[in-house]
Structure 1
Amino acid sequence: MATSVFNRRWAAVLLEALTRHGVRHVCIAPGSRSTPLTLAAAANAQFICHTHFDERGLGHLALGLAKASGEPVAVIVTSGTAVANLYPAMIEAGLTGERLVLLTADRPPELIDCGANQAIRQQGIFASHARQTLDLPRPTPDIPARWLVSAIDSAMAGLDYGALHVNCPFAEPLYGDDEGGDDPWSQALGDWWQSGAPWLRETPRNTVPVMKQPDWFLWRQKRGVVVAGRMTAEEGVRVARWAQELGWPLLGDVLSQTGQPLSCADLWLARDDARDTLAQAQIVVQFGNSLTGKRLLQWQAACAPQEYWLIDPLDGRRDPAHHAGRRLVARVADWLETHPAQPRAGWAPELTELAARTRQCTQTYLASRFGEAQAAQRLPVLLPDNGQLFVGNSLIVRLIDAFAQLPAGYPVYSNRGASGIDGLISTLAGVQRATAKPTLAIVGDLSALYDLNALALLRHVSAPTVLIVVNNNGGAIFSMLPTPAAERERFYLMPQNVEFRHAAAMFSLGYACPQSWDELEQSVAQAWGRTGTTLIELQVPPAEGAETLQTLLKKVNTL
């Protein structure tokens, strides 16, 4: 059998094995060495294939698909620096729990370290950031197909989260027609082709049952505080109900999807009386990690209850403050099922009243101030029915966390693992494609510039999509930090003096640049009424958002 033909057969078996583990989406970048993988994916009717010309954006597209679907997503790239461009997305997946399968084409061993074109050392390239690695040999009929499928099955069984890196060397020729005919090598798998099941059924390594805490019936009668970090929409609703039944205050992050019953916590947590009240808690139970608010993080680091429990499905400590207590690896919903609440009256009603006063103060102050802060505070008004929200990083996510109260159970997505600004628009595109829901996204101007070519991905959306770009002319978050004044603008803020009208036109997207809240609301409403993507640019004063946050912190402290 010709080398080009056998390369295709090998790749076809590999890709088919992935379908047995729930892989439906495959993200593909152009390249020659990856041809066997690309053509095998295209020929498999079980796959939905996505393409992008930028491997860094492609990795984030896969990340968004995995984030919103909850399924593993495969990525196919060619050899060389194309592989290295997947690094940011796979790092993020390792921190936030998505599953990626990175299929990287490679030169065969005889072309490595000898000056061959586009040949780099790809084995082990992702070091400790890859959850699983599998270095395949050069395709050869001497290795039985059952070895290949069982190797994939074993690696996928160990992929509880993060990335599996499968390095796939292919020798030339890469091109040639597969004229069919007998294929004893792949036919040796027999009924496997029709079964739909893995060849090797290996027990997943993340199937540890939830261990009920034997003293929970005692702790649930004490004064507790619930901290809600990143979790799913369904989990957020359940955690909020659970905390309410217990009568425990709930401090909900912007990504908690709990409805943040004690809203604007990042403002009122700066008050001494609020911290004094919370200090009476005997136990703190945290669900999820990746907290956003600065004051919440400061309180979390300083609190010293008798017990601190952290429940999250990902392993590792996940607590940068290193509290004494219990680190419980479990899915939030499973843990709640095993640890029911005992209905009790709330023990800190003054926090409910303080949160309400803070929210009213914030609304009053921002009522006539159009800009980044007002948009963050009123963001819930713009959300589409039966839709979802994607939030960028840097200043905007902090303003939303501090000023807004998002609806309970409304899906919110972001890249708050490594908290980078790379690949945000690409991730948004993946989230939208995975769910086919109307989607509102909001990012900063530098974030948008960093991933500008991902606007090409937003030309292909299955429901109305709105991307709000807050253009405060640079990295305004650095104005909140004690950066040296003389170097701040050149080395930190980096104003670019651009507008995004031309970017929208370049990629044939709708565009609006509202100058008031009424215009913004009208622009968003019109966008929900048409197909495709609308880019809405908010041109705001550079320091407005950061200065508003500081002003409201002072106002709330004197309520």
Structure 2
Amino acid sequence: MSVSAFNHRWASVILEALARHGVRHVCIAPGSRSTPLTLAAAAHAHFICHTHFDERGLGHLALGLAKGAGERVAVIVTSGTAVANLYPAVIEAGLSGERLIMLTADRPLESIDCGANQAISQPGIFSSHVTDALNLPTPTSTIAARWLVSAIDDLIARQTHGAVHINCPFAEPLYGESDEEDAAWSDALGDWWQNSKPWLQQSVHFQPPLLHDWESGCQRRGVVIAGCLSVHEGKQVAQWAATLGWPLLSDVQSHSGQPLACADLWLANPKAQSSLQRAELVVQFGSRLTSKRLLQWLSSCQVTEYWLIEDRAGRLDPAHHRGRRIVSPIGPWLSQHPALARPPWAESLASLSSMAKSCVEQRLATQFGEAQVASRIVELLPPHGQLFLGNSLVVRMVDAFAQLPVEYPVFANRGASGIDGLLATAAGVERACCRPTLVLLGDLSALYDLNSLALLRQSSAPMVILLVNNQGGQIFSLLPTPLATRQRFYCMPQQVDFRHAAAAFGLQYASPESWYALLHDVTQRWKLGGVTLIELKVAPTAGGEALTQLLQQVSEL
């Protein structure tokens, strides 16, 4: 029996098993040890294969595909440090919930800890950041194919959120002609090859818990918090809160329309804090909140009860409230707990929100820069498109200054909130959704993931990367550290002209110097198509200063 041929047959069973669980996208990095998996994926008619030479970017590409498609996405890499480069994407998926399947090729056991090339200890490498792991044996016909498929089915059936790790050792030789000597091994699976169902079919029937005291609960003065929600959930939550007459404090990723816009500003106002002190119940849907002021209010609020509803398990409440942690899909839970129409009890918040929005518009009307762009981001959005937000100062300013349309798709990496892999994640989102995509991120984020500009050359819809070049990590300009120390060790100013990066990767480029020039450039890109990197060269500290000054102004209204 040919070792290389059986390796391929073994890998083909693995990939076929994953296809039965809805995997369509497979992200592949080059490598020799992973050849059986790569060839099996390439030969499978069901898969859309994506490639990238950088495993860190590849992991984030998969993360973006999983975000956009709402499906499991598989990743194939070779052994050694290639595996370790997946770590940031695994961590982010574990916190934000995207379902990734990491297929890591490995040396057989006899090659580990003996000085063999590119051989590291891979089982357990992702620790608690994966939800589950399966360390496969080196392929052998003495292990029945039904064991392999049932082991994979069992692992995937338990994957409700986050990444799983399947470590796949392969012995050499890895290359050779296929043969039929070992066909009986896989043929033993019978008509499984002709249907589309998993070998081991497991089902979990989940019914959202009915709160029997809801009728009395909805009579209280409540506050609704909308965290990271799906497009449909955001609209449902907004309608539910409006019917109840409860104020809705919503995150930039809530898709709720943010009816009380600029909450990150007006929550610092003593009048808002006084009004919200009357609240008796907080009901939060989704987690991962961006606003610092909202998190501070949640930490200090004194309410009778706090409920957090999300379909993922875990506390997800950094303030550790006494209350109820309800693990349930949000849509069905809302249906089981209909809103009882009541008049608003905190009407002053709407007035504060309106005044805060007016302050933002007046303060930033003539000041071209990242703060103005964040406040007017809606004017740049492509019709029937989507928005991807970077981290650090950019996402905070959009959350504080903008009011995004209800149900307009917004994506971000707000699990670990790192700046790694943002361009690659945006590329994955675009590929999954095939919609015009606006990406807004900072210069250090772009530099950190510059390799992933290579992924954007394959964009199927118009794409604009709006890159704010404020000379370094200016979110750190808000820190009360000595200026010289802050510049050297935190902001780290750089002198990079991204025109050359765009040219290196074959992207279109523009660098407008006014709001109207920017609006024209972006509008034209939606019409002409392609991928354009638009660099906004702005004053280093202007964005942070605008946020600080508006916080002060709104707090004194």
Q: Provide the TM-score with structure 2 as the length reference.
A: 0.99
Which residue does the alignment assign to 1:44? 44
Q: Using the alignment, how far apart are the partners of 1:510 and 1:340 within structure 2?
A: 50
Q: Using the alignment, how far apart are the partners of 1:312 and 1:197 within structure 2?
A: 29
Q: Using the alignment, how far apart are the partners of 2:93 and 2:480 within structure 1?
A: 31
Letter in 2 for 1:135: N
**Residue of 412, 415, 435 corresponding to 2:413:** 415
CA contact (8 A) 1:460 1:532 kept: no
Deviation at 1:181, TM superposition (A): 6.6
CA contact (8 A) 1:373 1:545 kept: yes
Deviation at 1:179, TM superposition (A): 4.2
Deviation at 1:483, TM superposition (A): 2.6
Which residue does the alignment assign to 2:7? 7
Q: Using the alignment, how far apart are the partners of 1:220 and 1:329 within structure 2?
A: 19
Gaps of 5+ in 2: none
Deviation at 1:130, TM superposition (A): 1.2
Which residue does the alignment assign to 1:396? 394
- Bigger drift between 170-179 and 71-80 goes to 170-179
Match of 2:317, SS? coil
- Bigger drift between 60-69 and 548-557 goes to 548-557
Which residue does the alignment assign to 2:78? 78
CA contact (8 A) 1:470 1:539 kept: yes
Match of 2:404, SS? coil
Which residue does the alignment assign to 1:243? 241
Gaps of 5+ in 1: none
Letter in 1 for 2:108: P
Residues 9-36 of structure 1, C-alpha deviations (whole Å, 9 max, x = no match): 0000000000110100000000000000
Q: Using the alignment, how far apart are the partners of 2:296 and 2:537 within structure 1?
A: 32
Which residue does the alignment assign to 1:306? 304
Deviation at 1:558, TM superposition (A): 2.4
Which residue does the alignment assign to 1:68? 68
- Bigger drift between 435-444 and 180-189 goes to 180-189
Deviation at 1:294, TM superposition (A): 1.1
Q: Using the alignment, how far apart are the partners of 1:487 and 1:364 within structure 2?
A: 34
Q: Using the alignment, how far apart are the partners of 1:485 and 1:525 within structure 2?
A: 39
- Bigger drift between 438-447 and 176-185 goes to 176-185
Letter in 2 for 1:113: D
Q: Using the alignment, how far apart are the partners of 2:111 and 2:420 within structure 1?
A: 32
Letter in 2 for 1:71: E
Deviation at 1:116, TM superposition (A): 0.4
Residues 507-550 of structure 1, C-alpha deviations (whole Å, 9 max, x = no match): 01011100000000001011111232110101001100000011
Q: Using the alignment, how far apart are the partners of 1:484 and 1:62 within structure 2?
A: 40
Letter in 1 for 2:345: W
Which residue does the alignment assign to 1:98? 98
CA contact (8 A) 1:367 1:374 kept: yes
CA contact (8 A) 1:246 1:344 kept: yes
> How many residue pairs align between the two structures?
557
Which residue does the alignment assign to 2:151? 151
CA contact (8 A) 1:286 1:311 kept: yes
Q: Using the alignment, how far apart are the partners of 2:332 and 2:442 within structure 1?
A: 36
Root-mean-square deviation (CA, aligned residues, Å) is 0.9
Letter in 1 for 2:532: T
Q: Provide the TM-score with structure 1 as the length reference.
A: 0.99
Q: Using the alignment, how far apart are the partners of 1:259 and 1:521 within structure 2?
A: 22
Letter in 2 for 1:499: D
Which residue does the alignment assign to 1:197? 197
Q: Using the alignment, how far apart are the partners of 2:484 and 2:458 within structure 1?
A: 44
CA contact (8 A) 2:245 2:343 kept: yes
Q: Using the alignment, how far apart are the partners of 2:336 and 2:388 within structure 1?
A: 31
Match of 1:191, SS? helix
Letter in 2 for 1:307: E
Which residue does the alignment assign to 1:536? 534
Residues 133-191 of structure 1, C-alpha deviations (whole Å, 9 max, x = no match): 00000000000100000000000010011111000000000001114577100000000
Q: Using the alignment, how far apart are the partners of 2:217 and 2:224 within structure 1?
A: 13
Deviation at 1:250, TM superposition (A): 0.3
Letter in 1 for 2:281: I
Residues 355-377 of structure 1, C-alpha deviations (whole Å, 9 max, x = no match): 11111111011111100100000
Within the alignment, does 1:25 sit opposite 2:62 as a pair? Answer: no
Match of 1:103, SS? strand
Which residue does the alignment assign to 2:120? 120
Residues 365-392 of structure 1, C-alpha deviations (whole Å, 9 max, x = no match): 1111100100000001110111110000
Which residue does the alignment assign to 1:331? 329
